[in-house]
Amino acid sequence: MLKERALLVGGVNLPGAEAVFRAVAAEAGDVVERIPDGETDARNDWIVAQIPVLRRQAQLEPGEPFTNEYRSHPRWKIRDGVEPDEIELGSLGYTDAATDSYRIFTRLKREGVIRSDTRFQVSLPTPLAVVGVFIDPRDALRFEPVYERHMLGEMAAIAEIVPHGELAFQWDAAIEFFMLEGFWSGYFPGDLLTGLVERTARMIDAIPTDVQAGLHLCYGDSEGKHFKEPEDAAYLAAMATGVLSAVHRSLDWLHLPVPIERDDEAYFAPLADLELPAGTTLYLGLLHKEDGLEGARRRIAAARAYVPEFGVATECGMSRDATPEEIPGLLRLHAEVARELEAAAASV
């Protein structure tokens, strides 16, 4: 099916949701099943949008800032004498953004700009990302249930606003790989991979079963750079296998990044044993604006040695590494590669 051949990961560097919806519909509307709102404005730097949420909390106080060679961020800790159950964060902003974007989405459907069977995609960071980056490690385990409760509340509110047959949620997991690669310390006891899998599966299981669910795995995209270049897809495969074994509901899609340099079979070899349930579409993030169609073809050829069937996407969102002028061309690249995949499947 052509609409299953391409995925838009989330962020799109255009001025507002309507510009995103119109551009996607015009350039790639026939190859995507879902359209995100582009995570524009305050959300265009992913979890950085949560800094004002934490800053305004009277029950939190500034801790020691965190700095490494990749990013620098403030951190907070729970004030002395405050119990985690007492913390009320208020709005995280995701419900408000989705409400505004969905209003535009439905209008453009009525106008015939967006296909009637297209779903509204809401991409959310896993709670671990915000807790792991912005909360003092000594308080992170106590604060985690607080933030998770608020995030799931926002997701539930969105599911009240958008009809379930028109809705899709995607969890974005990046800090998980910072931890697996030893670039970031975990804040919970026990086996690291087990803890990451359990948390991710719990977030997926919280999505209503009649709403589509997706998982985007990521190695970071600050200023278009990974925090570390993966040696291969081994950690991606391990995380995906663990989550697929742990979830109690269907996972409609799984997205894995492919660095631009990796058009060698060795990168994809760990995916040989990745078993996807029926109904789960794998998307490989092998589209790069720097080498376009030819680069995508090379990476597709290498991937097929171990993964015979997949759709395509960019490695991460297009919000930080692509200018607004580059977005139409990237969207056309999605469409062109998706049509080639469709044609190849039809010829078999």
pLDDT of residue 343: 87
Residue with tokens 């040989």: 272
Whether 206 contacts 199, CB under 8 Å: no
Each of the 348 residues of the chain gets a pLDDT tens digit; together they read: 677 899 999 889 999 999 999 999 999 999 999 999 999 888 877 888 999 999 999 999 998 887 766 667 899 999 999 999 999 999 999 999 999 999 999 999 999 999 999 999 999 999 999 999 999 999 999 999 999 999 999 999 999 999 999 999 999 999 999 999 988 788 999 999 999 999 999 999 999 999 999 999 998 776 666 677 899 999 999 999 999 999 999 999 999 999 999 999 999 999 999 999 999 999 999 999 999 999 999 999 999 999 999 999 999 988 777 899 999 999 999 999 999 999 888 776
Number of domains into which the chain is organized: 1
pLDDT at 301: 97
Cβ(254)–Cβ(240) below 8 Å: yes
pLDDT of residue 219: 87
Instruction: Report the distance separating Cα 175 and Cα 93, nearest Å.
Output: 21
pLDDT tens for each residue of 111-168: 999 999 999 999 999 999 999 999 999 999 999 999 999 999 999 999 999 999 999 9
The answer for 81, left when phi > 0, alpha when psi is -120 to 50, beta otherwise, is left
Q: Give the CATH number for residue 128.
A: 3.20.20.210
For residue 196, the SS3 value is helix
DSSP 211: S
Helix, strand, coil % over all residues of the chain, rounded to 5: 45, 15, 40
Cβ neighbours of 224 (radius 10 Å): 13
Query: What does the angle CA 121 – CA 127 – CA 131 come to, to the nearest 5 degrees?
Result: 145
Looking at residue 224, what is its pLDDT?
62
| C-beta atoms surrounding 231 within 10 Å | 12
Residues 315 and 312: their CA atoms lie apart, in Å, by: 9
| CA dihedral over 101, 107, 110, 114, signed as positive or negative | negative
**Amino acid letter, 122:** V
- Angle of helix 234-246 relative to helix 192-205, nearest 10 degrees, comes to 50
> Which amino acid belongs to residue 324?
P
Q: How many helices (H) and strands (E) does the chain have?
A: 11, 11
The reported pLDDT for the residue numbered 225 is 67
What is the predicted pLDDT for the residue at 220?
Answer: 76
Segments forming the whole domain that contains residue 247: 2-347
Which three-class secondary structure state does DSSP give residue 6?
Answer: strand
pLDDT of residue 113: 98
How far is the C-alpha of 262 from the C-alpha of 266, rounded, in Å? 8
What pLDDT shows up at residue 4?
A: 87
Strand order in the sheet with 167-173: 34-36, 119-125, 167-173, 212-217, 253-257, 281-287, 311-314
**Size of the chain, expressed as the number of residues it contains:** 348
